[in-house]
A and B are shown apart, each in its own frame.
Chain A
């Protein structure tokens, strides 16, 4: 086996899905070809049920492909036995593992099992690798804690630590950010990013967290219509491919900032006047949420001005007179009551 080329993944005319019974085959992805370069961080994104997890499971050999093949180290995945595979590829899943009486250190040490003999005892070198992995995922002060005592984010980090201890060139992660709060999600993906850079690991993860995937990954595999659309995140934004993910739904994809918002029916018009600043931006956002079409500097209809003298306040100018509000909430309350 040529170890130098082991960070390179090739998908050759691969179809993935599952079989129901003998005849019935459900294809989720059909005849896809791609490759992942050494040290890349690839995000697999797509809507629920499009086959993100199935693709990841197929890539790490947990599931058979329907046709075509995956090549690691220039060898077909099918030709590798599970012991060889476990030294090239590691896997982190969505499942939160609850094992009673298992400590973080013991969990991460299980990552060394492809290298230990039948009794599973660790050598001093193994212990050093485990310590390094614990250090890399930032769990040094939690390593003697039981898994039942740490948070979901820490537990997921521990699972990644276990994959690091496995010391494979390739890491596949299925929804590593599911169940995590926003801060933990960013931390998690940033950890993956730095691992792919400093550790020179090839990392492929699935996620439906578009924002985070776009910010940190080198490359996106967007699953759409049983194919993958492949490219840098920015390529996919510019080409408008990402917005196809939202077609037919009440969702708008904003190409400027890759933001996603809900499509609303505009039922009334309102004007706004003032400086282009953070107050203006968020006031516009609030008015849009209330169903107004917002017109900049149009003072012929009811309009809102933002006054920043003596504390910020909002003034609504209508035919019937002007109203003063101390917060966007008060303004929106007034507008909502008026429309009812």
Chain B
């Protein structure tokens, strides 16, 4: 698919494109190679040390080896690596869309309050229900109900924002409203936390730390399909995003339908960020950091290149974070959210100190 895409790009004949395009294609191919290597490494590393030939056998042959190794590889590590790929690319594309739409370098999937909405959904399920029925029967809550609760929470916040955005012209106002919705949601979650008992609180806290390891089999399939749909919508926004970089006035006079664009962008962002949050918990900073890294690596403002670039770099960063979180050689596993924060925050600090301008003073 990537090759087809590169072919599509290079089919343009004019010299100006020829000047830059081969470079872009090489960078994208290099990033794809990097992601593949990291994917392999991610499968190879873990608390149980499994040599490479056995990993190969576990995947491609029926040959007998230690049955628990086969379970670890095909039942745990491979789904986890795929989850990392999906989460990485989805959060990065969603961050890229938010930064371009709001023309704000610090925007990310969090700004619209989508992750906060998902948290509220999960909190209501885990803590609200258990408090209501005074029982511990809901504990442990099944993964499926967690996912649906998160989805519904994210969806409700999205519907609220879409409803407001029809009335509000200014995208800065929407950004502020998103932050406010997020804050209210977090406040509600805190109240719920205050009233819940220890064991329930613990399972919620574990969810908020984020995990790539709980997505298996049918869940992974649903996650992949949802993110596929989200990416499809985001591809439809590429041209609009390119024009929106100039600000809404120029976009309107260049024939862009702002409400439709806003709907498409918010919809795809919510599907992408909402799905990842639902399945993996809130994973921070990746969505802010990766688009900046991508712009810097590719040195372009063309979303036809930035979208696939962000997907590849997001994948690589997420796989790398996962490898780090497993602390190769140790039995412990770090929460993925902490690792992405440790990797992402320096980038955010660097953005702030460098005051990179992707915004027009208007």
Interface check B256, CB cutoff 8 A: yes
Cα A315 to Cα B12 with chains together (Å): 75
Please encode chain A, from 58 to 102, with 1 for each CB lying within 8 Å of some chain B CB and 0 for all others.
001110000000000000000000110111011101011111111
Cα A61 to Cα B356 with chains together (Å): 32
B246 close to A83 (CB less than 8 A): no
Give the Cβ gap from B116 to chain A, nearest Cβ, in Å: 28
Q: Looking at the complex, which of A107-115, A256-264, A276-284, A289-297 is the stretch in contact with chain B?
A: A107-115
Cα A114 to Cα B250 with chains together (Å): 12
* The residue from A95, A114, A119 contacting B238, defined by CB atoms under 8 A apart: A119
Interface check B19, CB cutoff 8 A: yes
Interface centre among B247, B254, B299 (most CB of A within 10 A): B254
Query: Residues of B contacting A62 with CB < 8 Å?
Result: 249, 252-253
Interface check A120, CB cutoff 8 A: yes
A118 close to B254 (CB less than 8 A): no
Task: Mark out the residues of chain B between 238 and 292 whose CB falls within 8 Å of any chain A CB in the assembled complex.
Answer: 238-239, 242-243, 245-247, 249-250, 252-257
Interface check A327, CB cutoff 8 A: no
A122 close to B301 (CB less than 8 A): no
Interface check A322, CB cutoff 8 A: no
B245 close to A99 (CB less than 8 A): yes
* The residue from A85, A122, A127 contacting B253, defined by CB atoms under 8 A apart: A85
Interface centre among A83, A90, A98, A99 (most CB of B within 10 A): A99
Please encode chain B, from 127 to 141, with 1 for each CB lying within 8 Å of some chain A CB and 0 for all others.
000000000000000
Cα A327 to Cα B327 with chains together (Å): 81
- Contact A122:B358 (CB < 8 A) given known A106-B301, A113-B254: no
- Contact A119:B304 (CB < 8 A) given known A93-B249, A110-B242: yes
Interface check B13, CB cutoff 8 A: yes
Cα A101 to Cα B362 with chains together (Å): 19
Interface check A253, CB cutoff 8 A: no
Interface check A326, CB cutoff 8 A: no
A91 close to B357 (CB less than 8 A): no
- Contact A113:B249 (CB < 8 A) given known A85-B255, A105-B16, A144-B19: no
B302 close to A106 (CB less than 8 A): yes
Interface check B3, CB cutoff 8 A: no
B239 close to A113 (CB less than 8 A): yes
A122 close to B14 (CB less than 8 A): yes
Give the Cβ gap from A178 to chain B, nearest Cβ, in Å: 12
Work out how many contacts link A and B, with CB atoms closer than 8 A. 101
A86 close to B255 (CB less than 8 A): yes
Interface check B30, CB cutoff 8 A: no
* The residue from A86, A102, A121 contacting B254, defined by CB atoms under 8 A apart: A86
Query: Residues of A contacting B252 with CB < 8 Å?
Result: 61-62, 82
Cβ-closest chain A residue relative to B294: A101
Please encode chain B, from 294 to 334, with 1 for each CB lying within 8 Å of some chain A CB and 0 for all others.
01001111101000000000000000000000000000000
Cα A208 to Cα B355 with chains together (Å): 33
Task: Mark out the residues of chain A between 20 and 61 whose CB falls within 8 Å of any chain B CB in the assembled complex.
Answer: 60-61
Task: Mark out the residues of chain A between 104 and 140 whose CB falls within 8 Å of any chain B CB in the assembled complex.
Answer: 105-107, 110-111, 113-114, 116, 118-122, 124, 127
- Contact A111:B361 (CB < 8 A) given known A97-B246, A100-B295, A100-B356: no
Interface centre among A60, A61, A90, A121 (most CB of B within 10 A): A121
Query: Residues of A contacting B250 with CB < 8 Å?
Result: 91, 93, 97
Interface check A200, CB cutoff 8 A: no
**Which of the four size classes fits the interface of chain A?**
35 or more
Give the Cβ gap from A60 to chain B, nearest Cβ, in Å: 6
* The residue from B246, B357, B361 contacting A110, defined by CB atoms under 8 A apart: B246
Cα A97 to Cα B361 with chains together (Å): 8
Cα A110 to Cα B253 with chains together (Å): 12
A91 close to B249 (CB less than 8 A): yes
Query: Residues of B contacting A85 with CB < 8 Å?
Result: 253, 255
Interface check B359, CB cutoff 8 A: yes
Interface check A166, CB cutoff 8 A: yes
Cα A105 to Cα B14 with chains together (Å): 13
Cα A102 to Cα B256 with chains together (Å): 19
Chain B residues near A (Cβ < 8 Å) = 12-14, 16, 19, 236, 238-239, 242-243, 245-247, 249-250, 252-257, 295, 298-302, 304, 356-362
CB-based closest 3 A-B pairs: A86-B255, A120-B239, A102-B301
Q: Can you identify 25 A-B contacts, CB atoms within 8 angstroms? A: A60-B253, A62-B249, A86-B253, A86-B254, A95-B362, A96-B360, A96-B361, A98-B358, A99-B246, A100-B301, A100-B357, A101-B299, A106-B301, A107-B246, A110-B243, A113-B243, A113-B254, A113-B256, A116-B239, A119-B239, A120-B239, A120-B304, A121-B304, A143-B16, A144-B16
Chain A residues near B (Cβ < 8 Å) = 60-62, 82-83, 85-87, 89-91, 93, 95-103, 105-107, 110-111, 113-114, 116, 118-122, 124, 127, 143-144, 148, 166
Known: A82-B255, A101-B299, A102-B300. 19 other contacts (CB 8 A): A86-B253, A87-B255, A91-B249, A91-B253, A93-B250, A96-B360, A99-B301, A100-B357, A110-B243, A113-B239, A114-B254, A116-B239, A119-B238, A119-B304, A120-B239, A120-B304, A124-B13, A143-B16, A144-B19
